[in-house]
A and B are shown apart, each in its own frame.
Chain A
Amino acid sequence: MKRTFTYKLNIVLFLLPALILFVGILIAPIIMSAYYSFHEFNLVANTDMEYKGLENYRILFSSMLTNPNTGKLYANSMYLGDALGHSLVLAALSTFIQLPLALIIALKLSKGIRGERAYLSIFFMPVLISTVIIGRLWMNIYDPGQAGLLNAGLRALGIDKWLFPAITNSIKSSKLPFTGQWTGFRETALIAAFIPILWQYVGYHMLLMYAGIKGVPADLLEAAQLDGCTEGQVNRFIIIPYIKPILKVCVIFAVTGSLKSFDLIYALMKDTSRAELPSTLMYKLLFLHQRYGLGSAIAVVLIVLCFLFAVLISFAFRDKGAKVA
């Protein structure tokens, strides 16, 4: 019995398709990216690789440093600092607004409310729509002209009268008045990008959590009810600790998703600079600036960050889980 199950050639053959794909298209490119990031070259002009050492990383990170001579930030058009800041804000919004919302809906729906299945289906539907389409649809919703749905709604309700001046006053990055250009200012563009993300993915997380809650053993819940626990107490002390592994997955998806997100911003705004994310910055450096080394350096930063956050989140959840148990 043992012999056939350990026969080395078979093991290799079974692993082969997956390994070829995984190593050839994922692991090798990442090693190549790391190698490229210490060089500069131009794919269009076919220039030779020029060794740059850590120069690319210095360029990227110097935008986050203060020049001791002037006391101002180093002037730099590669706003990696901004891009990282934006993706962290996006990650925080996703974790602290989107996930709780998804959890609340999942908790309510999983308790056997009438039409549970229909609600589930509707909330999950936007997940299946292409992000490009959602981006463009929301671009039209935010349109500052006559046709934009959001501004038309605000005008019809008379909210624009006080909301727009209030936003104008709170905008620091620009001297222009706010007249409904949601994607035009740094302060509003990121929120404008978050809303469609929330709209699209709340159902995704909700369904994951719903699945987890449905998996809570019925006798656990009954016992709690017999002990006279209120619904809130059941949620807090039984359900949420029980579905912790799924919550962990949701947080990892939400955070790494924010770091990775590209399609939506790209489709939502033609000029992405006001809500620049690491991935859109990478795209610009690669295909507009034609600086393939510098772009690869951002790719490496992205990979390291995604990995780091995944580990950190796992660690955070493991720690708290141990305390509850």
Chain B
Amino acid sequence: METYSPTVEHYLVLGTALFFIGMFGFLTRKNMIAMLMSLELMLNGVNIIFVTFNKFKHPVALDGMFFAIFIITIAAAEAALAIAIIISIYKNFKSIESDEPHTLKF
């Protein structure tokens, strides 16, 4: 059976695709939970790119890995914050549609 090993391009395409899918979702969805999920998708797309470059360009260094781990940590914290915000928005507006809370303006 022919073994197939993915090259750097495969990974990059995957990462970029994930990022832009996430971005598309982030900009088009109205549900805040869905927006949060899209955001996670974007972060993970970036993670994949970091890890890829680390593995293929500088195999001995660990910087890319570190960045990935940092991003995962920050994503966890950010998810906690975002969900808290969403809950409080829900309490105030009885909705988690992002169009509803538009009172914060001039």
* B partners with A: no
Query: Which A positions have Cβ atoms within 8 angstroms of B?
Result: none
Query: Which B positions have Cβ atoms within 8 angstroms of A?
Result: none
